[in-house]
Every structure is written in C-alpha cells, then in structure tokens.
Amino acid sequence: MLGTTKRDRAAERRETTRREILDAAWAIASEVGLAQVTLRDIAARVGMRAPSLYTHVDSKNAIYDAMFAQAWTECLEVMRGLEQNPPNDLRATLRLYARTFFDFSVSSLARHQLMNQRTVPGFEPSPESYAPAVEVLGALRHRMATFGVTSEADVDLYVAIVGGLVDAQLANDQGGERWRRLLDRAVDMYVHDLDQRAGATSLHTTTEDER
C-alpha cells in the first residue's frame, strides 16, 4: 500500500531527525559541558533555527530526558553483556561489575553527570526514562541474589562504594587511575565483610579464598 509506505517513510525521516538532534546535543555536551547545551547550538548543528526543534521535541528538558534514557539503556546493555560468561564466585563477579560500571561511568563526564548527578538545574527524568536505570540496579540485585546476597543493606553498601569511587575519580583525577586502582581492594574488603556476616548467621553460599 502506497499510503502506508509514505507514512512509514515520513516516520522514518522524523526518527532520523530526532536522532540527529540527540547526537548534536551529545556532541555539544561533551565539548562544552552538559549544562552549556543550548537549543540554538543544537539547531545550528542540524541546520535549523532553534524554534524548529520544537516540532521534533517537546522542550529542552525532553532532550535531556531522551539522553538520560539513552545513557542508562546503553549502560544496561553493557552490564547485561556481562551475563554471557559470568564468573562463578561472588568476588570475581562483584569485581567485574564494579570495574565495568566504573569504566563506563568514567568514560564520559557529561553522561555521568546526566545519569547520576543533578547538574542540570531544572531537569528531572521521566518515569519511562528512569526505567532502564532501575533495571540496571535490578540486574545487579538479581545477580547478587544468586550468590545469596539479598539484603537491601548489602546491595546499598556495594552501590555506595562503587559510586563513591566513580565520583572521586571524576571529581579529583579526571582521566587518571588514582581511584580506579582501588576498585578490587574495595570489592575484596566488601566481600570479606559479607563472608564474615554470612558466617555469623551461618548462611555460607560461596567458596572463598581464591584470589
């Protein structure tokens, strides 16, 4: 049917333009900073005037929202990729997850600020865009549960430690490895704490002392 084809082509074109807008926004964000992205700059990069963007996006924050969803979706894919050939002990798993998330986070300051910090004044992610972020945490929770780590506090502590290392790295030694070097040590000390607690409650699920 011709009508359908036409409509598909139009939708496809629309999609492409939207992609170009987001790509332009990412480029500007990584060049001059996330908060320094302006609609006029985005428009100029895709060959438009600023108001024309509004036929493709609802607002500037909608652009941030789409970028937020993109970032966390990409993160989710990276973390899901780890489930292919997973390590069979807790320590190696948490080391791998920590390093993967760390490297992903540290590889783009603008993206990390969008994902994890509130560096854009008025922006609050929509529930739909927030979903993949929740899923990343859910995947981690599920993975940890297979090793018997199920308590909220245990997961919270792991998340806080890894997040703290990421933040410290980006804030104080951007492009360096000063905090990255501490990842394995931090995980080991966390796992040791878990083992100790598991021993106390006689909930031993993993063999330890590999290293």
Partner DNA sequence: GTCTATACACCGATAGAC
Partner DNA sequence: GTCTATCGGTGTATAGAC
The Cβ of residue 93 has, within 10 Å, a number of other Cβ atoms equal to 22
Q: Which amino acid is at 126?
A: S
Question: Which one of a second copy, DNA, none is in contact with 73 (Cβ closer than 5 to 8 A by kind)?
Answer: none
E strand or H helix at 42: helix 39-46
* Of 11-19, 93-101, 124-132, 160-168: span binding DNA (CB under 7 A): 11-19
Least Å from the CB of residue 207 to DNA: 49
The nearer residue to a second copy, 75 or 165, going by C-beta atoms, is: 165
Least Å from the CB of residue 18 to a second copy: 25
Q: Is 38 in the site for DNA (CB under 7 A)?
A: yes
Q: Which amino acid is at 52?
A: S
- Residues binding a second copy (CB under 8 A): 33, 35-36, 113, 116-119, 121-122, 152-153, 156-157, 159-165, 167-168, 171, 178-179, 181-182, 185-186, 188-190, 192-193
The nearer residue to a second copy, 160 or 203, going by C-beta atoms, is: 160
Using CB under 7 A, which residues numbered 48 to 67 contact DNA? Answer: 48-52, 54-56, 59-61
Among 37, 69, 71, 109, binds DNA (CB under 7 A): 37
Considering just the CA atoms, what is the radius of gyration of the chain in Å? 21
**Residue 152 and residue 154: Cα distance in Å, rounded?**
5
User: Helical H runs in 82-182?
Assistant: 90-106, 109-116, 127-145, 152-172
The nearer residue to a second copy, 55 or 152, going by C-beta atoms, is: 152
Placement of tokens 């909608």 in the chain: 62
CB 75 within 8 Å of CB 129: no
**Residue 72 and residue 137: Cα distance in Å, rounded?**
11
Q: How many residues make up the chain in this entry?
A: 211
Total binding residues toward DNA, as defined by CB under 7 A: 22
**Residue 45 and residue 66: Cα distance in Å, rounded?**
18
Residues that bind DNA (CB under 7 A): 10, 13-14, 17, 37-41, 43, 47-52, 54-56, 59-61
